Structure 1
Amino acid sequence: ASYYFIDSLKQTGCSLEEIGYVMEMEEVDYLSFMKTRLGALEEQIRTLQNTLFSTKTTYRLLEHYQDVGKEDPEIFIMDNMSICYTPIEDKDNAKGIAGIGKDFKKHALFMKNTFNANVYPSGASISLEDIKNKNYVYNNVVTLVEMPADNINAFPLPSNKVVSCFHSKGDTPISESYNKLYNFITENNLKPLSDLISISLINLRDSKLRHNYLKYLFICIDK
């Protein structure tokens, strides 16, 4: 019977050292001990759930990229997505990833402390007014995730109907993709409900520092 009790404790994440400590105590508050283990398990479940949410988001978008096989603007329904964001402090100098390094670290820390989740898939947003004026500066660091919105830390998208496109290495400058989306909206008399949001799905450098990336760009529109 002791074997199965010890094995059960091991399954809750107890180390052999912790189990040995409990076994050697003359008086053990088992209720408090099990409450601690329960809390630890619940936290592991939350962490795993949030990791699952972010992984599902990336998978869904990569699956869509495989199905679409093109990088022209399209109207797409993006259900069950929430967005988390951190405002960029120095917007005037936020013209590239190098310009938002501190903001990105702040956002990653926010995601870790708030959801115990990683920051992936993440990116940044640009106001449509700035795109119109060809002033491509970021205003927020964002993470897109398939999880319930609480309207405190994670917010629902203004609409699940989006105009979107993909942008990858070897394409024209990304500013042209920004303009494609903006022009698609204006030429089709669509009503935008959000900034342009750019999400990095792949962002890698090989041993020769060659950059391989894939971004998903979208703007929420009125239904």
Structure 2
Amino acid sequence: MARETSEKLLADLVDSIRQAIIFGRLRPRERLVEEELAERFNASRHLVRSALSTLDQMGLVTRRPNRGVIVCDFSVEEIEEIYEMRALLQGEAARRIPLPAPRSLVSQLEAIHAKYSENVDKMELKAACTLNNVFHETMFGACNNRYLTETIQRFWIRTTAIRCYAIGDPELLQQSRREHRAMIDAIKEGNREELVKQCVDHIYPALEAYKRAHGGWDVAGAAGSQRAVPERLTVVARR
């Protein structure tokens, strides 16, 4: 029982710090001091230390020489590579979702989207953020490759500090809702090309918001209104 309680406390603290990063209360490059976090989240320093270790493994924070633990930030080159991978992975997952899709998948996505829309209208950001995650996990989970799904999720978590720049922006939330609707429609209509395009284009508005906050730069593959959809990944089986 004591172990279960300790594990729950750790999980709750990890989620609280993660939410603070998602909603921009802890910003990229911000130094995370154990004593301050312990006071802020009413936790022991030991628990904070364990939570930071977990967040480090998730890619949300990093340890820097002479600076301690900071919220992850990325170089331009790192961002280019990460978003290239996200585009490749999400495009490939969209290509693997069975079309015509099972009614159960469409029903699930419709139900999640309805709840997401309701929370977007109310600007209930925490609930909307959670439902956004559930929407993508459900859709990409239908690609029938759990390793692909898990890798998409890892990159999703890793870009939390970038994606936080879109959270709370009413215009970007409305755009996200429209894009979710377009994904569902493409699945219902069996339009593979449109589904792949929507799944790839969907990752860029948050990146553009991040770029604007940092002075802007040209990110390979992300500039302009027309973006090239990555070619299909080719897997060669070893004999």
* TM-score over 0.5 for the pair: no
TM-score band w.r.t. shorter chain: under 0.3
State the TM-score, normalizing by the size of structure 1: 0.27
Structure (1 or 2) with the larger CA radius of gyration = 1
More helix by share: 2
State the TM-score, normalizing by the size of structure 2: 0.26
